[in-house]
Amino acid sequence: MALLTWSNDYSVGVKALDSQHTVLFNILNELHDAMLKGQARAVTATLLKKLVSYTHEHFAAEEKMMEVAGYPEFDRHRNRHRDLVRQVGEFATRCENGEATVNVELMDFLRDWLTRHIQREDKGYGPWLNEHGVR
């Protein structure tokens, strides 16, 4: 059972970023599925690393587009990204050290953060980017 299902409700109106958001949904779904199946810590740790790595790539691409377009909320948005990367990075380190495991609480946090961030924060930059030539 998927944790997240992509729909146009999540679209920010920028094709490249919508595509990257769907990848994030897919990675979270893989991680959720591995957790539900009780797969070994090595599998969930690998998927968590994949999530962290792709999140870095996505945030860098998103931030570059916002910066080039002169998005007025750029600094605040970038700080939100940094907060999430820090939180998830700390958790990933704890998993690697055997101090934590991927669990329902983490999955709920990631799901809620991603969906709220897209719907509340990212949707704000979509029209601005579109007006400045980014589609």
Task: Answer yes or no: is 7 within a domain.
Answer: no
User: Over the range 55-66, which residues count as b (16 or more CB within 10 Å of their CB) and which as e?
Assistant: beebbeebeebb
Task: Answer yes or no: is 6 within a domain.
Answer: no
User: Over the range 17-31, which residues count as b (16 or more CB within 10 Å of their CB) and which as e?
Assistant: bbebbeebbebbbbb
Residue 100 has a pLDDT of 84
Domain count within the chain = 1
Place of tokens 């907060």: 83
Is residue 1 scored above 90 in pLDDT? Answer: no
C-alpha–C-alpha distance, residues 30 and 42, integer Å: 14
C-alpha–C-alpha distance, residues 86 and 1, integer Å: 28
Task: Answer yes or no: is 74 within a domain.
Answer: yes
- More confident position, 21 or 135: 21
Nearest to 90 by CA among 36, 35, 52, 55: 52
Range of the domain at 102: 13-131
Is residue 101 scored above 90 in pLDDT? Answer: no
- More confident position, 97 or 23: 23
Task: Answer yes or no: is 44 within a domain.
Answer: yes
- More confident position, 13 or 99: 13
pLDDT tens digit sequence for 63-89 = 999 999 999 999 999 999 999 999 988
Task: Answer yes or no: is 2 within a domain.
Answer: no
Task: Answer yes or no: is 3 within a domain.
Answer: no
Task: Answer yes or no: is 26 within a domain.
Answer: yes
Residue 70 has a pLDDT of 95
Q: Which domain CATH number covers 99?
A: 1.20.120.50
Task: Answer yes or no: is 5 within a domain.
Answer: no
